[in-house]
Amino acid sequence: MHVAVSGWLLGAHSGANRRLVELLRHVAPLLRDGERITLLHRRGAVLPQLPPRIELREVAIAAGPSWRRAFEEAIKLPHALREIGATVCDHGFLPAPRVRCALALTIHDIRDADGFGGRPRWLARLALRRAAARAAAIVAPSEFAASRIRAIATNATTFVVHNGVSLPDRTHNDDARIVPGRLVHVGHLEPRKNLDVLVRALALLPKDAPHHVLFAGRDAGCGEPLQRLATQLGVAARAQFLGAIDDESLARLYASAAAVVVPSRYEGFGLAALEGLAWGRPTIVANCASLPEVVGDAATLLAPDDAAAWARAFQKLDDSESERVRRRARAEQWSWLRAAESMLSVWRSLDGANA
């Protein structure tokens, strides 16, 4: 088995990027004699530190825009796969490329097809159905995402490979670092994240309440509207926008959080919610899409539009040791090793198959 992994987007901080890196790191020690993984990357990419068993191959395919990436994949990817002798192509983008080896296509969510993205729904659904016809397997990070894929692409062969999480060292998680009232949101600033409910909840709190929200993530379309709303509601000083941050800064942010908040209307998994639990922090999420599946009964689930309920939850955070233990126990169920074992099982099942 020789798996070629498309890594054109490596370098940008995102949940999808973290998933790919962690899977590669944890899969490498599990490889049998004769099994190989080659990471295909774009020219000039800043690559993460990976185990020696992960081979590297530069391919001149752009990370974006998506139309250019798809065009260059159609021309260059089949040749690169033949040249290295790949038997499985692990790919993470739509549209699905046409390749001669087995295609394992990871789809993190189908936000566009479900009306939560920027592309026309009909076009996204057409791309998904075409992808299902080309892929030997579609890999989803949650049962929710897999069920939505099957609902639209009824011919899809789906596998669920959950995301994982790394439990932080207890020395990085002491009470002295927690900032009272600090509410942390991690993720791109985009409409489906439903971030205005956090700002509206802040405005319902007493003026002397310590609560404030730190938004860590790239502005993907709603950063300015959120800032305007915070100004209009008189809480601009309590909403801070950090932009994209690196992993070390992210760890410090989680360690300082009084709570982690994920009010998304639509997630294919919701890695930030799982990371909040791993840090033992009170975690408040919307009762939508994949989030209940991920957090179970270890987090507070609220209706996404009920700002008053979110405000009340901010004031009633339970940070007792027993609750911290329960949150970490939930997070321990989602290990990167288990995810890597599942991903490797999918690859092995496809080895030698034709797309």
230-269 pLDDT, tens digit per residue, is 999 999 999 999 999 988 899 999 999 999 999 999 999 9
Query: Whole-model pTM?
Result: 0.92
**What is the per-residue pLDDT for 64?**
82
Cα separation, 188 vs 190, whole angstroms = 6
State the pLDDT confidence band at 177, using cuts at 50, 70 and 90. Answer: confident
State the pLDDT confidence band at 355, using cuts at 50, 70 and 90. Answer: very low
Q: What angle do CA 101, 104, 108 make, to 5 degrees?
A: 155
Domains annotated for the chain, with CATH where assigned, are 2-164+336-350 (3.40.50.2000), 170-332 (3.40.50.2000)
The CB density around residue 178, as the number of other CB atoms within 10 Å, is 16
State the average pLDDT over residues 100-120.
Answer: 94
Does the N-terminal peptide bond of residue 206 adopt cis geometry, omega within 30 degrees of 0?
Answer: no
Choose among 238, 185, 237: nearest CA to 216. 185
Cα separation, 222 vs 219, whole angstroms = 7
User: CB–CB of 100/350 below 8 Å?
Assistant: no
Instruction: Specify the range with the lowest mean pLDDT, choosing from 62-66, 70-74, 87-91, 241-245.
Output: 62-66
**What is the per-residue pLDDT for 283?**
98
Helix (H, G, I), strand (E, B) or coil at 184: strand
What does the pLDDT look like over 5-15, one tens digit per residue? 998 877 666 77
CA distances from 105 to 90, 98, 136, 144 (A): 6, 11, 8, 17
Q: Where are the beta strands (DSSP E) in the chain?
A: 2-6, 36-41, 54-58, 88-91, 102-106, 137-140, 158-160, 182-186, 212-216, 239-243, 259-262, 283-286, 300-302
Percentage of the residues of the chain whose pLDDT score is greater than 70: 96
Write the DSSP assignment of 225-268 as a string of letters.
Answer: HHHHHHHHTT-GGGEEEEES--HHHHHHHHHH-SEEEE--S--S
Largest CA distance in the chain: 65
State the SS3 of 131-172: HHHHCCEEEECCHHHHHHHHHHCCCCCEEECCCCCCCCCHHH
Q: Is the pLDDT of residue 171 over 80?
A: no
The CB density around residue 303, as the number of other CB atoms within 10 Å, is 13
User: CB–CB of 42/61 below 8 Å?
Assistant: yes
State the average pLDDT over residues 301-322.
Answer: 96
Q: Is the pLDDT of residue 89 over 50?
A: yes
Cα separation, 184 vs 214, whole angstroms = 5
Mean pLDDT taken over the chain:
93
The single-letter DSSP state of residue 89 is E
Spacing of C-alpha 323 from chain mean position: 25
